[in-house]
Structure 1
Amino acid sequence: MKAVLINGSPRAKGCTFTALTELKNTLEQEGIEAEIVHVGNKDIRGCIACRKCRQTGKCVFDDVVNEIAPKLKECDAFVIGSPVYFASPAGGAISFLDRLFFSTFNVDKSMKVGAAVVTCRRGGNTAAFDVLNKYFAMNGMPIATSQYWNMVYGSSAEEVLQDKEGLQTMRTLGRNMAFLVKSIAMGKEKLGLPEKEPLTFTNFYKPGIED
């Protein structure tokens, strides 16, 4: 069983990495293979809704998004971590998620466990947390929770290590994620996945028609 943890911070070893590392260590203790991938330092442009991915199966901009797409397809759990910028996730993290989830429209994400982790100095964390969770909610991905919102406080990695409640929240999240991943695997084996109806678009969208 595998979990992919995305570091959406521009800083490789900052607050977000520190929180994700605590989560990664707990997942591994629970028998889940976990990998942290740093994307926040990449030049990631936003989605332009060209819909070329519907034809080719990948994003037209061949960058880290296409590198991560196979990992999303194969993993059992997917985590996005981001710092808070102006009460929202970092712009690079949003661009990454927009393009990743749009270009993998044909990848069945049902019952892959999703979780968001946010870091902040002081405020804006719950607003950013809500934004990140919506990617999972729209794709049939159970959202893992903890004893509090999945967040840590601090303006540096050293300060995050002093946030004992935040670190405990990461460990609790890791154990809850591992439990969900294992439980869903058992459910798939015994019950199978829930039946899916063909998609219905109330906005009258028709595939192939330009906006």
Structure 2
Amino acid sequence: MKVIAVNGSPRKGGNTDNMLKHALDHMEKAGWETEFVQLGGRNIRGCMACGKCWENKDFKCIVNNDIFNEIMEKMLEADAIILGSPTYFSDVSAELKALLDRSGMVALANDRAFAGKIGTAVVAVRRGGGIHVFDTINHMYLMSQMIVPGATYWNLGRGLDKGEVLDDPEGLDNMKTMAETIDWLGRAMKPHQGTFPKNNDFFG
């Protein structure tokens, strides 16, 4: 089984980065194939609402001069997707919002390609606003018929300066629990892969 973690923070080695890698370490020990993708700070544009993904149905966005299609391909291959973001004015980073909008739309256009996958959100926060970031990520998961596992608390880690989240034992412990839950859920779902019911009547 494969899990991909996408870092929506442009700050490499920052708190979001640390939390995602902490979770991936536990996933790797459990036998999962893991991949970390740096999104924040790279070239990705927002959705143009052109509808071409609904016409082409090729699992791609027609915009091919940024990194979206590269990351979308990795998301489609994964059994579990972990999207992480810092808290910017109580919401996700601009890069992660672009990925959410475009990946969600392309997946819907292609027979709900994310349906039945596991999706979790990871949020780095200094003080407040993190719950809204958590919700923004989960909204795409839930609309895509993905399975969103719980943990011991919201998947939040507190910190401002680089590495400060490593001094948040509750946040790190939650990453471990989250990873264990994904592992358990993935193994439970594996025998039923490909049998997930889909409702494709998106536009009514």
Q: Which has the higher mean CA deviation after the structures are superposed, 51-60 or 119-128? A: 51-60
> Aligned pair 1:81/2:84, yes or no?
yes
Q: Which has the higher mean CA deviation after the structures are superposed, 91-100 or 3-12? A: 91-100
Question: How far off is 1:195 after superposition?
Answer: 3.5
The superposition leaves residues 69-101 of structure 1 with CA deviations (integer Å, 9 ceiling, x where unpaired) of 221211100110000001111111101211122
Give the whole-Å Cα distance in 2 for the aligned partners of 1:52 and 1:102: 10
Give the whole-Å Cα distance in 1 for the aligned partners of 2:173 and 2:48: 39
Give the whole-Å Cα distance in 2 for the aligned partners of 1:197 and 1:88: 29
Name the SS for the 2:23 alignment partner: helix
Partner of 1:193: 195
Alpha carbons 2:115, 2:198 under 8 Å: kept: no
Larger radius of gyration: 1
Name the SS for the 2:76 alignment partner: helix
The one-letter code sitting in structure 1 at the alignment partner of 2:8 is G
Structure 1 unpaired stretches of 5+: 203-211
The normalised TM-score by structure 1 is 0.89
Give the whole-Å Cα distance in 1 for the aligned partners of 2:10 and 2:198: 38
Percent identity at matched positions?
37
Name the SS for the 2:87 alignment partner: strand
Give the whole-Å Cα distance in 2 for the aligned partners of 1:88 and 1:163: 21
Name the SS for the 1:161 alignment partner: helix
1:132 to 129, 133, 137: 137
Partner of 1:39: 39
Q: How does 1:173-184 map to 2 (within 5 A)?
A: 173-184=178-189
Question: How far off is 1:18 after superposition?
Answer: 0.3
Name the SS for the 1:176 alignment partner: helix
Partner of 1:95: 98
The one-letter code sitting in structure 2 at the alignment partner of 1:177 is I
Alpha carbons 1:82, 1:117 under 8 Å: kept: yes
Structure 2 unpaired stretches of 5+: none
Question: How far off is 1:41 after superposition?
Answer: 1.0
Aligned residues: 199
Question: How far off is 1:31 after superposition?
Answer: 1.0
Give the whole-Å Cα distance in 2 for the aligned partners of 1:89 and 1:200: 25
Q: How does 1:89-168 map to 2 (within 5 A)?
A: 89-104=92-107, 105-106=109-110, 108-168=113-173
Alpha carbons 1:111, 1:141 under 8 Å: kept: yes
Question: Moved runs in structure 1, 4+ residues, more than 6 A?
Answer: none
